[in-house]
Structure 1
Amino acid sequence: MPAPARPRRGAHRRRVVLLIGWLVAAGVLLTSSAARAETVQVVALAQTVDQVLNNIRNWIMGILAGIAIVLFSIAGLRYLLASGDPGEIEKAKGAFKAGCIGFGLAALAPLVVEILKGIVGGV
């Protein structure tokens, strides 16, 4: 039985050089844009407790919706790659259910903030 063919050494070197080139280009782009950034000091953006709670609500909704989108993507990929495997299909369904729960919690975030406003005394 013949031995498996070894990849050519030149192809591996080209890949390494290409990877190093991409890393150097990314480093140049990232450092050059950061070097021109101006320093700004912000002590506080929110003037009232109501604004703070609204900002918290917006952050919670954004984070939960982002996680839910990632879970939907994972569920879709698992379902596509399952190839009829019942275990993988069940895992995909579980990820889809978790995404639905994430969107449900994101939808309930304004209600939670309203309850916090009632407790804290915000108008």
Structure 2
Amino acid sequence: MWCVGVLVCGLVIAATLASAAQAHAIAAPAGDGRLQQVISNLRNVIVGLLVALATLFATIGGVRYLLAGGDPGEAEAGKRTLRNAAIGYGIAALAPVLVEILKYVVGS
């Protein structure tokens, strides 16, 4: 379940960076889009890392499930890991939407 916490922390960081970029864009001249581009690139990198982390957990969960060998406890642990990886994929897919919602709530 801690992978979901890591994903949420990544989204909060992305939202904070987007808010800072929005505040800078208001104070900066109209032609200064470099900071916006850096923030956008950084957000894309964070989402990529979230997807990579979810893929790692999906792989670990699949291996645990396959190697359970009839042990119901180990099979359930593999299923839980796969479920958490699916939640991670969902959060990574919804990251841009969640960042926009956080920007709206924060007021930037």
**Uncovered stretches (5+) of structure 2, i.e. residues with no partner:** 1-32
TM (norm. structure 1) is 0.53
CA RMSD for the aligned pairs?
2.1
After superposition, the C-alpha distances for 1:79-105 in whole angstroms (9 at most, x for unaligned) are: 111011000000000100110011011
Percent identical residues: 48
Q: Does the 8 A contact of 1:57 with 1:113 survive in 2?
A: no
Structure 2 residue corresponding to 1:95, chosen from 81, 88, 97 = 81
1:112 deviates by: 3.1
Indicate the structure with greater helix content: 2
Which structure is richer in relative contact order (CA contacts within 8 A, separation 6 or more)? 2
Q: Does the 8 A contact of 1:57 with 1:109 survive in 2?
A: no
Residue-pair matches, total: 75
Aligned counterparts, 1:51-66, within 5 A: 51-66=37-52
Q: Which amino acid aligns with 2:87?
A: I
1:55 deviates by: 1.8
TM (norm. structure 2) is 0.59
**Uncovered stretches (5+) of structure 1, i.e. residues with no partner:** 1-45
- Segments of 4+ moved more than 4 angstroms: 116-121
Structure 2 residue corresponding to 1:47, chosen from 17, 20, 34 = 34
Greater C-alpha Rg: 1
